[in-house]
Structure 1
Amino acid sequence: MQLLYSHTSPYARKVRIVAAEKRIELGMVLVTLSAPDCPIHQHNPLGKIPALVLDDGDALYDSRVIVEYLDHRTPLGHLIPQDHSLKIAVRRWEALADGICDAAVAAMMESRRAPEKQDAALIAKQMSKVERGLQALSDQLGSNRWCVNNTFSLADIAVGCVLGYLELRYQQLGWPEQYPNLARLYAALMKRASFKDTAPPA
């Protein structure tokens, strides 16, 4: 299997962490989406990463589909609980974390346009989603060690990936100071080899 990814994509990082935690070897194909010969379009009609190319040539996307496929590929340490209620709880955390990522990426892409073409209202709208999302993550985590059932899971991985992306692209937000419980969670996650090995370049 081969994973098409970029170093800075929080969605691809989520897949890479799941693969590492599950001890699943993936061939890594680093792609540049802006390159005219980028191979992603051969495997994902939406042109987004990550995409997982299976041994038979078929491809899976997006990250939520890929991580579920990987989690069920081996019985080792399920990151998505088998219990239905806990599974829904984990998936809800993942949806919120991915939604924050979506908003942060949208705001970043808009801010990279020429100044005269930027839509300040759009950026503000997306950043308000980020701020509300972070507050919700913090409120739900509270003083717990892990997000769901006091057990490391995909919920923690998804939250860690969005926090890592914000640390990379939005240092001005100062989220570690605003949400010390999220900072505590991220510090614990960064002690894991799967997180350290997939940290985006500074």
Structure 2
Amino acid sequence: MKLHWSTRSPYVRKVMAAAIETGLDGAIETCLSTVSLSTVNADVERDNPLGKIPALVTDEGVALYDSLVICEYLDHHSRKGRLFPREFEQRLAALRWHALGNGLTDILILWNNERGRDPAMQSPAHLSSYHAKTLATLDALEATVDELDRREFDIGHLGVAVGVGHADFRFADLQWRATRPRLSAWADRMAERESLRRTVQFDPRLQKQV
């Protein structure tokens, strides 16, 4: 299998963590791929017309896009644990947790893109909205993370762990941990798990790891 990959992408991190959890990481060839909103990467576009990463090409030559789709494919072929519960109610709960964590990641990326624009072009309304939505999501996780902690590890844990990890990676100045001790402690425990420890995001341009 070939995976269009980057050390900076939280969605790639989730896929690689899922590969480790399912014992399939050794079957994946990573292809360093840089994408942006303002350019087209022809190599990525050949496999994913959306021009996004991650994109996985299976051994059968089928291209899969979207991190959740790729994670479910890996789970189906798992050699180890299962990330997607089979029972409907448990699966729904796992996907709900994943949606919250993945939604946090989505907001953080939009926020980071907006604040990276020329100051004269930035939208104060957008910046304020992203800030408020991020804090609301982190507050919701702080209030409910004990419930997540009681569940067996699944795709929901991965989604949330990657989301708060991206907050650490891109928004250290947010200092979200200072007022959310339960979520912070949970994130630290998750960071010790092999799949997340081995997939820590970093920006080679800054030579900075978190």
Q: TM-score range by the shorter chain?
A: over 0.9
| Structure 1 residues not aligned, in runs of 5+ | none
Partners in 1 of 2:198 and 2:59 — Cα distance?
25
Residues 34-183 of structure 1 aligned to structure 2 (within 5 Å):
34=36, 37-74=41-78, 76-142=80-146, 144=147, 147=148, 149-183=150-184
Equivalent position to 2:31, from 29, 32, 51: 29
The one-letter amino acid of 2:23's match is R
Give the ranges of 4+ consecutive aligned residues of structure 1 lying more than 2 Å apart after TM superposition: 34-38
Q: How many residues align?
A: 199
1:148 deviates by 6.2
Change (3 A) 1:174 1:62: same
How does the TM-score come out when normalised to structure 2? 0.89
Change (3 A) 1:48 1:37: closer
Name which of structure 1's ranges 95-104 and 72-81 shifts more when overlaid on structure 2: 72-81
Q: Would you say the 8 A contact 2:41–2:51 is kept in 1?
A: no
Partners in 2 of 1:109 and 1:41 — Cα distance?
21
The one-letter amino acid of 2:188's match is A
Q: Which residue of 2 aligns with 1:11?
A: 11
The one-letter amino acid of 2:30's match is M
Change (3 A) 1:5 1:174: same
Q: Would you say the 8 A contact 1:100–1:162 is kept in 2?
A: yes
Name which of structure 1's ranges 74-83 and 129-138 shifts more when overlaid on structure 2: 74-83
Change (3 A) 1:60 1:155: same
